Amino acid sequence: MPHKTFMAFIWPSLLAMVLFIALPIVSVGYQSLFIEHEQILIEAESCGPFGCNMEVSVDFEAMQELREEQPAGRFNGTGTYTNASHLAFDEIGEIFATSENFGEIRNRIMNLPFYKALIFTLAYTFIVTPLVIILGFVIAVVVNSIPRLLKGPVIFFSLLPMLVTPLVGSLVLFWMIDSRGIIGAGLQTLFGDPSLSLKASPTLTWITLFVYGVWHSAPFAFVVFYAGLQTVPQDTMESAMVDGASRWERVRFVIIPYLMPLATFVALMQLMDNFRIFEPIIGFSAAASATSLSYLIYNDLRAAESPLFGSAAATSMLTILGVIILLLPVLRRNWREFNRKT
């Protein structure tokens, strides 16, 4: 294709990527170098029938002038990245210097907000993603083998979890696991413990979120794999059957290699989606037991007194960096595969 023709096709996409991806990321990175202005306080004497008292209040006019002069905030450099709310370099050094064993180190690090959110985010990503791929593939293979008359209803019910909004779905499951819900009451009856609650234990809360993540995302993997199964060469499958290959051998040596590019695609989408988990934490009211990087951003932006834009921006940049690190192995594998075929 001539260069001019290629550029004519590609420049609208490049322009959109610059406007809606590159510039916002640069803006967030710039904002992460600044923090909120310190409040300018004024003292005023207030007198009443019983005497006079000194009252301290915020000078709103001076604060407004300061914000107009420095709209981004007070320059802090990389200090936001290294403070106690983020990477906490000083706190980590102190923990390793004063802790007696690995268990104490782990517990103290888990009390740091950024690392608590990071550990849950990574656990959610690396547990839910492979389970979604496996479950979606199994459902696709099963649905592909059932009679044609039953495929329509089965596919419809298989897609229902994906049709439900994540926040609504998490709220529904939240009330189902409540002591008054069908799952919560059923577990209490099954174990004979009226005080049993899936919400009370951090471990059970994590497991519940993992189960919900698999339930909600598996239909996406199912749709992709089911579409891919329709393109598997039938002559290859028939040749394998003639050669005496069992059903499992046909799946292992014919279907799985053929669908591997789709599995890579699903893995990429799920890694990006799971790393930014947010809605289930809100729906389950699980912030006390499980927080994610996206939840930290949300928490900073809804601060009661004033939004912490610098802190939220720093967490956003660290989240973007984490997504890039997660995607690098998959992208590298795709690049090698592309070069091999070329």
Percent of the chain with pLDDT over 90: 34
Which pair of tokens denotes residue 190? 């099954």
Instruction: Print burial letters for 249-272: b (CB count within 10 Å at least 16), e (below 16).
Output: ebeeebbeebbeebbbbbbbbbbe
Determine the straight-line distance between the first and last CA of the chain, rounded to whole angstroms. Answer: 17
CA dist 233 and 46 (Å) reads 87
Q: What's the pLDDT tens digit per position in 145-175?
A: 888 888 888 888 888 887 777 778 788 877 8
Q: What's the pLDDT tens digit per position in 304-324?
A: 667 888 999 999 999 999 988
Helical (H) or strand (E) element with 58: strand 51-58
pLDDT > 70? residue 48: no
Contact between 117 and 291 under an 8 Å Cβ cutoff? The reply is yes
pLDDT > 80? residue 338: no
CA dist 45 and 27 (Å) reads 43
The per-residue pLDDT of the chain, averaged, comes to 86
CA dist 147 and 143 (Å) reads 9
CA dist 17 and 83 (Å) reads 32
Which of the four pLDDT bands, split at 50, 70 and 90, describes residue 339?
confident
Read off the pTM.
Answer: 0.85
